[in-house]
Amino acid sequence: MKNPTNELTFVAWLGTATRLRAESRATQGLPTLIFTGEIEERQLDSLGAVKRCDLRLNSRSGAKLISGEVKRPEVPEGRDARNERLREDARKKAIARGLPFYFTCNMREVVLYAIGSRATTSDREEFSTILCQISHSSEVDAHRSEIESQWSSFIDDVEERLRSQSTARPIVTAADVIAVRNAIYAVADECLVRSMRRLDSDEAYAQSVRAVAEAAFNFSPPLQSSLASNFRAEVEQLLRFGVFVFAQKLLLYRVLEEAGGRRRNRFGLDRLAVPHTSTDPSAIEALLKSAVAQAIERSGDFETAFLPEPLSDLVFTRPSTPQEVLDCRVGLVWYRLLEAIEAASWTSISQNLLGLLYELLVDPKFRHDLGQFYTREDVVDLLVTFAIQSPADLTIDPAAGGGSFLRSAYNRKRAIGADHNGALSTIWGVEITAFAAELSTVTLATSDPVEETAYPRVVLSDFFALSPGKATRLEIPGQPGRLTVPRDFDAVVGNPPYISYRRQSNQKTVIRAFAKLPESVLLPRFSGKSDAYVWFIVHATQFLKEGGRLGFVVSSAVLFADYGIPLIRFVSRHYRIVAVIDSLVERWFPDADTNAVLLLLERCSSATTREENQMRFIRLRRPLAQLFPAVGQSARRDELENLIAELLDAPHGGGDPRFSVNIVRQGFHGGIEFDGDPDQVESEDLDQPD
Residues 69 and 102 occupy one common structural domain: yes
DSSP string, 624-674: GGGTSPPTT-TTHHHHHHHHHHHHTTPPSEEEETTEEEEEEE-TTTTT---
Residues 343 and 399 occupy one common structural domain: no
Residue 598: Cβ-neighbour burial (10 angstroms; 0-12, 13-18, 19+): buried
pLDDT of residue 515: 78
Is 688 domain-assigned? no
Is 643 domain-assigned? yes
Is 170 domain-assigned? no
**Residue partners of 164: CB distance under 8 A and separation at least 6:** none
Residues 380 and 528 occupy one common structural domain: yes
Is 329 domain-assigned? yes
CATH code, domain with 512 = 3.40.50.150
Is 277 domain-assigned? yes
**Residue partners of 588: CB distance under 8 A and separation at least 6:** 375, 376, 379, 553, 595, 596
Contact 110, 96 (CB under 8 A): no
Is 1 domain-assigned? no
Domain count, the chain: 3
- For residue 564, give Cα distances in angstroms to 524, 536, 554, 568: 11, 14, 11, 6
pLDDT of residue 125: 96
User: Tens digit of pLDDT for each residue in 217-252?
Assistant: 878 889 988 888 889 999 999 999 999 888 888 888
Q: Which of 120, 141, 164 is the last residue before a domain boundary?
A: 164
Amino acid identity of residue 134, one-letter, is I
Overall pTM surpassing 0.75 (yes/no): yes
Which positions of the chain have pLDDT values less than 50? 42-50, 171-172, 674-690
Residues 417 and 463 occupy one common structural domain: yes
pLDDT of residue 367: 58
Residues 327 and 450 occupy one common structural domain: no
CATH code, domain with 82 = 3.90.1570.30
Residues 337 and 476 occupy one common structural domain: no
C-alpha atoms less than 13 angstroms from C-alpha of 36 in its C-beta half-sphere: 10
pLDDT of residue 686: 46
- For residue 213, give Cα distances in angstroms to 222, 399, 416, 660: 11, 18, 40, 45
Residues 390 and 361 occupy one common structural domain: no
pLDDT of residue 252: 82
Q: Which of 164, 192, 209 is the last residue before a domain boundary?
A: 164
Residues 140 and 187 occupy one common structural domain: no
- For residue 382, give Cα distances in angstroms to 334, 390, 625, 645, 657: 38, 15, 11, 11, 19
DSSP string, 59-85: -TT--EEEEEEE--TTSGGGSSTT-HH
Quickly list H helices, 371-433: 377-387, 404-415, 420-425
Contact 174, 39 (CB under 8 A): no
pLDDT of residue 531: 73
Residues 563 and 663 occupy one common structural domain: yes
pLDDT of residue 467: 93
Residues 363 and 378 occupy one common structural domain: no
Q: Report the phi/psi class of residue 87: left, alpha or beta, with left for phi > 0 and alpha for psi in -120 to 50.
A: alpha
pLDDT of residue 62: 85
Q: Which of 367, 383, 403 is the last residue before a domain boundary?
A: 367
- Buried/exposed 66-91: b ≥16 CB within 10 Å, e otherwise: bbbbbbbbbeebbebbebeebbebbb
DSSP H or E run through 247? helix 228-259
Contact 644, 659 (CB under 8 A): no
DSSP H or E run through 56? strand 53-58
Residues 356 and 424 occupy one common structural domain: no
Per the structure, the complete domain to which residue 20 belongs is given by: 7-164
Is 687 domain-assigned? no
Return contacts of 319-324, CB within 8 angstroms, 24+ apart.
319/194, 319/279, 319/281, 320/194, 320/197, 321/197, 324/193, 324/194, 324/197
User: Tens digit of pLDDT for each residue in 32-91?
Assistant: 999 999 886 544 444 444 455 789 999 988 888 999 999 999 999 999 999 999 999 999
Residues 605 and 652 occupy one common structural domain: yes
